[in-house]
Each structure stands twice: as C-alpha cells, then as structure tokens.
Amino acid sequence: MQDIIRWADDFKPAAKPWLILGMGPTFQRVRETDISGYHTCSLNYVVREMPVTLAHFIDISGVLRCADSLHRNARFLVLPYRPHVDHKPGRKTIHDFVAEIPALQKLAKEDRLLWYNLSSSRPIGGSPTIKVRFFSVEAALNLLVACGVRTVRSLGVDGGTSYGRSFTDLKDKTLLANGHPSFDRQFQGICATLRHTSDLLYAPLHMDAPIRVFIGADASRMMRAKMLEYSIKKFTPVTVKVQPLLEGSPEAVRIPELCGYRGRGIYLDADTQVLSDLTKLWLCPMEKAAILSCRRPGERHENSRRRVMLMDCEALSRQDGGNPDCVEETMPLPAEWDPGERSKEDGACIIDFGGQPTQPWVSNEHARSRLWYDNIREAIQEGFLTREELYEEIRANRLPAGLPRWAGLHGSGVRGLLKICWRAVKGFFNP
C-alpha cells in the first residue's frame, strides 16, 4: 500500500481538474452533466452510484457497506491510516482491516488501496497530516491540495440536513450520524483551506467562480481592506479573488473592464466587514438590472454606491462605457446586504464602520468593535496577517498604539510598543 503523496508522484493528479461528489441534493445533477474533463473523488456512499477515480472514506463502516461496489467503481480507494469506527477515531490500522476485509485485500493486491495521516490520530511515516474538523469533504479537499491539485469543483456538497434522492435509503442509518446538527459545518473547514491556499480554485460545479471582489481604499486604509478580505474568506466557502482599488482613481469605475466585461463583480468599501457567506450576494437575482446597490431615495449616485454594489459586467459594457456612476438601471440590494438597513441581530450580512467617530481602528468605544478585533487576532493566529504588518501600520500612525491590546494579542502591549519605538529611533539615525 502507498501513502497518497507517493501515489501522486506517479499518478500526477494535478494534470486535470477534480470534481468532489457528495451525497447532498445537487448530486442528482451529475446525471445531466458532462464530467468527462474531471478526475472524480467520491465521498462515502457515492461510490456505489457511479465509477470514480478516487473513493474516499474516513469511517470503516462505509467501506463495509460499499464493499461490493468498491472493486467495480473505484479506480483507487483512500482511507486514513487509522480509519474511524462508528464515527470515532479507531485504534486499528489500515493493515489490520486489510487482514479482515476481503474487499480491501483485493484492492491492496492490485495496488489500488491508498492511505494518509488524518489529524484525529498520531501520524506515521513522514507523510503530511490531513486536517478535518467536521465532515469528510474537508479531508478530501485537503488531500487533493496536498497532492498538488489546484482546481476543484463539487456536486452534492450542499450543507443543510438532507441527502440527495439517490441516498434516501441511508437517511435513518447514516444521516448526520456523527452528531453534528447540519452539513453546514463542513463549510468552515473549506473556508480554512481556501484561506491557506491562495492559488486554489474551488466552487460548486455550476457556479461562476472565482467570486471577484474589488475593495475601495486609499493608501491609509489598506489594513482595513486586508481585514475586510479576511472577513469575506472567513465565511465564504468558494474561491474569492480580491483586488484593492484606490479611491478616486480611474480604476474605481473600471470594474466591468477589469472583469473582461464578463460575469459579475462586487464592490465593497474598505470600512465594511462581511458577516456571512458572500456567495449569497454573488448569486442574487438581478432580473434586468445592471447594478444592485445601496441607493436610497434622494441620494446622489456617487454617494449611494460607495458601500456595496453587485454589477453585471456584461450588461454594463453596453451602457455608457461601463461606468457604474452613469447607469440608471439599478435595483436595491436585499436588505441584509445593505449595511444601513439591518443590524447583525436582525440578520445583517454586512456592517459599515465608515463615517463614525468611534471606528475600531480609531478607538475601542464602538459597540461592535470587538468583531473587528477578533478578526485581527484570528488572522494573526492563522498567519493570514503578521504582527509585523500590524506594527508597521501603528508605526505609520495609521492605527492606534493600543490596538494590539484591544485585540487581545498576548504579549503585544509593552513589547509591541518597544518595537515600534526602536524602529522609530533606528529610522531617525538611519534614514
């Protein structure tokens, strides 16, 4: 048996894009879709429904239930070195189960059985550890990334609490049997993978991706733009490409052109923070409108669109050279995406700190500043943002010296201020 990383050296899985197939309702669309251009990775019982390149299981019970299908439909089968048993980490190794299960013996003899280190048990053999928190799609996506794959689509990875029609017989046997209340939790793991793999394209198969976001910011607001990007990627389990646009520059009205006059583009002001999955905005029905915006009765165009806009870039290409400020065919955003319409407690998906004297990057007196500080702390813990970047902003007087303390960064108070002072002294004598 090979570990999957060594297998990847010979198989070259990155030569084609991959399609992860889950058991959610959208799995049914595979029957009407040409997937011949993809390698396929099945999750759990999907392998009984169709041939796949790679069948992935974490729990050995699924292997036992699908034993008759594995040899027929799985080109390769991959399991953790210590598979789970009844949804809990097990003690037995893959070698133990090969000795007990004839289907695994047959696949092993044909060099079709692979293993990997799962984060729920102690690793062996120097192979990387694959992280998973809630559901198997997280492990499957991280496995493909570890093998060098950078284009991954999905069908049947839907969230919610139901299976697709092909798996209704399993509803009372396996549905959410691991104790989690919803498949929505798998998106947290997908988001984490996307934040740590900047060149990964991941999205549901039939979705236009990546989501293209343009952030309006001047040079003094780049840290705010960085934290807005983090808030987007904290909640959005689809690849998001973020591009800052300098406010007041010609680029700020060139979003349709920057998108090649194709698909959609989202504009957000740097002083906002996203509180929900941006996919919900990206997929909003636009009917015949070229723009969905925060425009309110009596507001001038340039003021009404500075916070949030969803643009149909192809439609804009046919109107006034694509300049959003000259387009009359607009519709209001759904209330939850208008930062002036709802509070977080009322289902808001975005918050706007702009134009307020107690902005969290000015003082810690804003009623919702904790949200911004928590994101800074989490971003540093994950490596999305470095302490060095934060202190550089403080040294440049773009952030207050007390912000590391407000954000709860341990050891950041005196030590951080001393670093700032020392750099200032060095800069004075060595300009």
Q: Are residues 264 and 391 in the same domain?
A: no
SS3 call for 241: strand
The reply to whether 361 falls in a domain is no
Could you report the per-residue pLDDT of 101-152, keeping only the tens digit for each? 999 999 999 999 999 999 999 999 889 999 999 999 999 999 999 999 999 9
Q: Are residues 58 and 187 in the same domain?
A: yes
Domain count, the chain: 3
Q: Are residues 96 and 162 in the same domain?
A: yes
Could you report the per-residue pLDDT of 190-207, keeping only the tens digit for each? 999 999 999 999 999 999
pLDDT of residue 213: 97
- Please give the Cα distance from 162 to 171 (Å, whole number): 8
Give the predicted TM-score (pTM) of the model: 0.90
The DSSP 8-state label assigned to residue 310 in this structure reads E
- Write out the two tokens for 133: 């928190």
Q: Are residues 15 and 159 in the same domain?
A: yes
Given a cut of 60, whether residue 297 has pLDDT beyond it is: no
User: 203: which strand partners?
Assistant: 153
The reply to whether 247 falls in a domain is yes
Q: Are residues 281 and 407 in the same domain?
A: no
Could you report the per-residue pLDDT of 239-266, keeping only the tens digit for each? 999 999 886 665 667 899 999 999 999 9
Q: Are residues 141 and 195 in the same domain?
A: yes
The reply to whether 357 falls in a domain is no
Q: Which domain holds residue 273?
A: 211-352
Last residue within a domain, chosen from 189, 204, 219 = 204
Last residue within a domain, chosen from 179, 204, 229 = 204
Q: Are residues 140 and 235 in the same domain?
A: no
Q: Are residues 100 and 246 in the same domain?
A: no
**Mean pLDDT rounded to a whole number for the chain:** 89
The reply to whether 360 falls in a domain is no
Given a cut of 70, whether residue 326 has pLDDT beyond it is: no
Whether the CB-CB separation of 65 and 54 falls below 8 Å is answered with no
The DSSP 8-state label assigned to residue 133 in this structure reads S
pLDDT of residue 393: 94
- Please give the Cα distance from 60 to 86 (Å, whole number): 8
Q: Are residues 59 and 35 in the same domain?
A: yes
User: Kindly report the CA angle at 245 between 240 and 247, in degrees rounded to 5?
Assistant: 140
Given a cut of 80, whether residue 431 has pLDDT beyond it is: no
Domain CATH for 253: 3.90.550.10
The reply to whether 124 falls in a domain is yes
Q: Are residues 346 and 380 in the same domain?
A: no
Q: What are phi and psi of 150, to 5 degrees?
A: -130, 5
Q: Are residues 170 and 23 in the same domain?
A: yes
CA dihedral sign of residues 393, 394, 399, 405: positive
- Please give the Cα distance from 196 to 201 (Å, whole number): 12
Instruction: Determine what percent of the chain is predicted with pLDDT higher than 90.
Output: 74
Given a cut of 90, whether residue 317 has pLDDT beyond it is: no
Could you report the per-residue pLDDT of 56-105, keeping only the tens digit for each? 999 999 999 999 999 999 999 999 999 999 999 999 999 999 999 999 99
Please count the residues of the chain: 431
Given a cut of 70, whether residue 416 has pLDDT beyond it is: no
pLDDT of residue 330: 81
Q: Are residues 141 and 221 in the same domain?
A: no
pLDDT of residue 430: 56
Last residue within a domain, chosen from 292, 323, 352 = 352
Cα–Cα separations (whole angstroms), residue 108 to 44, 75, 78, 99: 19, 12, 11, 10
Could you report the per-residue pLDDT of 371-397, keeping only the tens digit for each? 999 999 999 999 999 999 999 999 999
